[in-house]
């Protein structure tokens, strides 16, 4: 195993331990208080009025010397609008004005994760890897942040690291067994590794309780069909 792989394994073990047990570290916490423009812009964004939200976030950024939240808002709007250059610019401003808190790192990570979901190729890898780094940093001092394990798992999955993604997604599912988003992401990671038996075992309880979504039903059908095909090959041999 290469030195980088050893470092990644040690980091995963550390993050898993922190996520499961928590830690007592005194650090600055929280995010800046949102301004009136930022609050109005966020409401526009949530309503799907992205262009209007963008304009308000830009006004907010011009009105404050440390426009962290406004820059994050601009980045999120630009992601929705497909404006890659503006996304990059907004991230640069956000990093330059970010407070040194785990919540800020978590928000940066979640925004990079949004970008990774719609990007492709090297750009997807860049955003996913950066998101993973942000979640790792946040988890060292604030392992109890909401949905941290899920977001870390998603960033690992989008970065093509299915094994480590499974570690985080299993933790996330143990924290919220009813989350179909987490369950589907975990199934996807297992499928990428060809772990049909684990997919079958994982989905059995949810099928029995009638909790499978249409997408998960398709994954269950894949696992069963793959198993039947494998048994057929074995009989022919």
Cβ neighbours for 180, distance < 8 A, ≥ 6 positions apart: 211, 213, 216
User: CB–CB of 94/72 below 8 Å?
Assistant: yes
What domains are there in the chain, each with its CATH number? 34-98 (1.25.40), 102-192 (1.25.40.10)
Tokens, residue 105 = 């790192």
Query: What share of the chain has pLDDT > 90, as a percent?
Result: 77
Summarised one tens digit per residue, pLDDT across range 98-114 is 999 999 999 999 999 99
In this structure, of 105-119, 122-136, 220-234, the range with the lowest mean pLDDT score is: 220-234
**pLDDT-based confidence at residue 185 (cuts at 50, 70, 90):** very high
Average pLDDT over residues 82-91: 98
Average pLDDT over residues 205-233: 80
User: CB–CB of 202/186 below 8 Å?
Assistant: yes
Q: Report the chain's mean pLDDT, rounded to a whole number.
A: 88
Residue 74 backbone class (left: φ over 0; alpha: ψ -120 to 50; beta: rest): alpha
The string of DSSP letters for the chain reads --HHHHHHHHHHHHHHHHHHH----------PPPPHHHHHHHHHHHTT-HHHHHHHHHHHHHT-SS-HHHHHHHHHHHHHHT-HHHHHHHHHHHHHH--SSHHHHHHHHHHHHHHHHH--HHHHHHHHHHHHHHHHHHHHH-TTSTTHHHHHHHHHHHTT-HHHHHHHHHHHHHH-TT-HHHHHHHHHHHHHTT-HHHHHHHHHHHHHTT---HHHHHHHHHHHHHHHHHHHHHHH-
Chain position carrying tokens 């995963």: 12
Summarised one tens digit per residue, pLDDT across range 15-70 is 555 455 544 445 689 999 999 999 999 999 999 999 999 999 999 999 999 999 99
Give residue 211's pLDDT. 86
Whether the per-residue pLDDT at 4 is higher than 70: the answer is no
Give residue 205's pLDDT. 86
Summarised one tens digit per residue, pLDDT across range 125-156 is 999 999 999 999 999 999 999 999 999 999 99
**pLDDT-based confidence at residue 6 (cuts at 50, 70, 90):** low
Whether the per-residue pLDDT at 3 is higher than 80: the answer is no
Give residue 24's pLDDT. 45
**pLDDT-based confidence at residue 10 (cuts at 50, 70, 90):** low
Instruction: Please tell me the distance from the alpha carbon of residue 198 to that of residue 201, in angstroms, as a whole number.
Output: 5
């Amino acid at each position: 195993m290469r030195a980088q792989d050893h470092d990644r394994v040690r980091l995963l073990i550390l993050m898993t331990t922190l996520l499961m047990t928590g830690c007592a570290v005194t650090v600055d916490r929280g995010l800046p208080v949102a301004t009136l423009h930022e609050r109005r812009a966020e409401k526009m964004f949530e309503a799907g009025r992205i262009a209007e939200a963008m304009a308000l976030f830009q006004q907010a950024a011009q009105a404050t010397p440390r426009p962290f939240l406004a820059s994050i808002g601009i980045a999120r709007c630009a992601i929705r609008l497909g404006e890659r250059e503006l996304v990059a610019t907004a991230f640069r401003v956000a990093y330059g004005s970010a407070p040194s808190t785990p919540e800020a790192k978590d928000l940066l990570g979640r925004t990079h994760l949004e970008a990774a979901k719609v990007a492709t190729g090297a750009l997807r890898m860049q955003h996913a890897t950066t998101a993973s780094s942000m979640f790792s940093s946040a988890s060292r001092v604030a392992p109890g942040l909401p949905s941290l394990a899920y977001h870390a798992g998603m960033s690992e999955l989008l970065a093509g690291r299915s094994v480590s993604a499974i570690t985080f997604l299993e933790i996330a599912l143990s924290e919220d067994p009813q989350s179909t988003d987490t369950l589907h992401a975990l199934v996807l990671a297992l499928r990428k590794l060809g772990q049909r038996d684990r997919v079958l075992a994982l989905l059995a309880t949810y099928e029995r309780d009638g909790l499978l979504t249409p997408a998960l039903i398709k994954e269950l059908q894949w696992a069963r069909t793959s198993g039947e095909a494998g048994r057929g090959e074995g009989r022919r041999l």
